[in-house]
Structure 1
Amino acid sequence: MVQKFLLFLLICSAVITMSFTLQKRKKVVFFGDSITQMGADAGGYIRQMETMIAKEGLSNQFELVGAGISGNKVTDLYLRLERDVLSKQPDIVVIYVGINDVWHKRLAGTGTDYVKYTEFYDAIVKKLQAAGAKVVVCTPSVIGERKDNSNEQDGELNMYSNWLRQYAKEKQIPCTDLRTEFQNYLIANNPNNAEKGLLTTDRVHLNAAGNEFVAKAIWNTLKTIQ
């Protein structure tokens, strides 16, 4: 009788443990600038990703949280890392920053020089990993949609993106290479070499097609993380 009771308790314990395990979703925080802030709005890339996840029957496995603020550069992300990301106890953090670091050099006479960008980016990743979060890095997409590298700041975007690709490879961190994805798309779909209107509204911020494009690209990376 005692053995049956102990067996019953063991089974109940296993069922309870399994139910908690099944209910726990991976919390994914998207850390970035205005593109990510808008990505958390209706129709944004984070919300579109939720729809994609639901269609694959995986809604019970992921919780998506936006942590983007307009105008942010890598230094801003570092300063609000504790408050806006680590306090949420994320399982995965997707970092999508770099556009303003380059764009604001021309737009506002500010920005972030290359060496400073790499140092602060590395510091963010180390803090996230020390807290037990997995990291996904994204290369900065576009500042202008011309397909032939004739946008004014293509050179700098390529330089920052090249560093991120190499950094991700060395640190064995998943990388969503938005820079390459966007460039390949524009080569194939921008016959008139237009500055905007294909994936962006204003050369930088995403339109509906751009949000869907980014959602697919990042989701393809997220689904590979164990």
Structure 2
Amino acid sequence: MKILLSYLRFTVLLFPLLAMQSDKPLRVIFFGDSITQAGVGQTGYITQLRAMLQDKGLGDQYELMGAGIGGNKVYDLYLRMDEDVLARKPDIVFIYVGINDVWHKATHGTGTDYDKFLKFYQAIIKKLQDNNIRPILCTPSVIGERTDYSNEQDGDLNRYANAIRVLADQHSLTLVDLRKDFQKYLEKHNKDNEEKGVLTRDRVHLTEAGDKFVAEEMMAGLLKK
């Protein structure tokens, strides 16, 4: 009888705690570079995604947070993970990096070699999973919007994007394939083969329409089971 009473007391105490946990929104961090840093702005993709979730009646189920810093490459993300991601105890982290790793090869003479990019990216995934955090991988989008394969760094971008696709497959992770989705959209909507002005304002950073497009793709990844 004493054992039964103890069990019942424990159950009565446990149920409210479980209810509180189930009502707690999932904390989602978007981890990246200047595109993500701008994502928390008035028309940024994180802000637009928050509004989209509200419109679907899902706003109270997710807490969205940005962790973007301009100029960051994959190893910058890894080095600031503890403070900017793990300390905030997220449930889900979107890894959105790769543009600067490619772009800065031409603009700054730096960038990130392919093998180094892959190793740091894998290390980020492992650290998140070791902390019971669900990673969602994102391929880098564009450095130039031309659709005739004349953007200078299309080759590198395709290579790095494909590496992320492979990692998503190897680890059975959700993939938001922005590289593929941008190319498909631009083939349809960039009929004049402009290098910018459709989804980006400077070949890389997003217009309001670009932020809306990314928000829609991110939402699909977030809601994917």
Name the TM-score class by shorter chain.
Answer: over 0.9
Post-superposition shift, 1:16? Answer: 2.6
TM-score by length of 2: 0.93
Match runs of 1:146-161 below 5 Å: 146-161=146-161
Secondary structure of the residue that 2:140 maps to in structure 1? coil
Q: What secondary structure is seen at the aligned counterpart in 1 of 2:148?
A: coil
CA distance in 1, matches of 2:169, 2:11: 45
Which residue number in structure 2 is paired with residue 97 of structure 1?
97
Counterpart in 1 of 2:51?
A: 51
Q: Could you tell me which residue of structure 1 aligns to residue 24 of structure 2?
A: 24
* Within-5 A mapping of 1:162-173: 162-173=162-173
C-alpha separation between the residues in 1 aligned to 2:33 and 2:130?
23
* CA distances 1:84-113 after superposition (whole Å, capped 9, x unpaired): 000001100000000000000001101001
Aligned equivalent of 2:203: 203
Q: Secondary structure at the match of 1:28?
A: strand
1:21 Cα deviation (Å)?
A: 3.1
**2:3 maps to which residue?**
none
CA distance in 2, matches of 1:115, 1:44: 32
Distance 1:58-1:190 versus aligned 2 partners, 3 A rule: same
Q: Deviations over 1:107-166 (max 9, x none)?
A: 110100100000000001100100110000000000000012110000000000111111
Deviation at 1:60, TM superposition (A): 1.3
| 2:179 paired with 1:184 | no
Alignment correspondent of 1:72: 72
How far residue 23 of structure 1 moved from its aligned partner, in angstroms, is 2.5
Shift of 1:42: 1.2
Unaligned runs of 5+ in 2: 1-5
| Identity among equivalent pairs (%) | 52
Aligned-partner SS, 2:37: helix
Runs (4+) off by over 2 Å: 8-19
CA distance in 2, matches of 1:104, 1:214: 22
Which amino acid in 2 is paired with 1:223? L
* Aligned-residue RMSD, C-alpha: 1.8
> Is 1:127 paired with 2:107?
no
SS state of the match for residue 67, structure 2?
strand
Show the 5 A alignment for 1:1-12.
none
Shift of 1:41: 1.3
The number of equivalent residue pairs is: 220
Label 1:24 to 1:102 Cα distance change in 2 as closer, same or farther (>3 A): same
Name the counterpart of 2:83: 83
**1:186-217 residue CA offsets vs partner (Å, 9 max, x unmatched):** 00111110000000000000000000000000
Alpha-carbon distance between aligned partners in 2 of 1:119 and 1:18, rounded to the nearest angstrom = 38
- Aligned mates of 2:124, 2:165 — CA distance in 1: 16
Deviations 1:37-69 (A, max 9, x none): 000111100010000100111111100010000
CA distance in 2 between counterparts of 1:21 and 1:128 reads 21
Look up the equivalent residue of 1:220 and give its one-letter code.
Answer: A
After TM superposition, the score normalised by the length of structure 1 is: 0.93
| Most deviating of 12-21 and 31-40 | 12-21
SS in 1 for 2:94: strand
SS at match of 2:51: helix
CA distance in 1, matches of 2:49, 2:149: 29
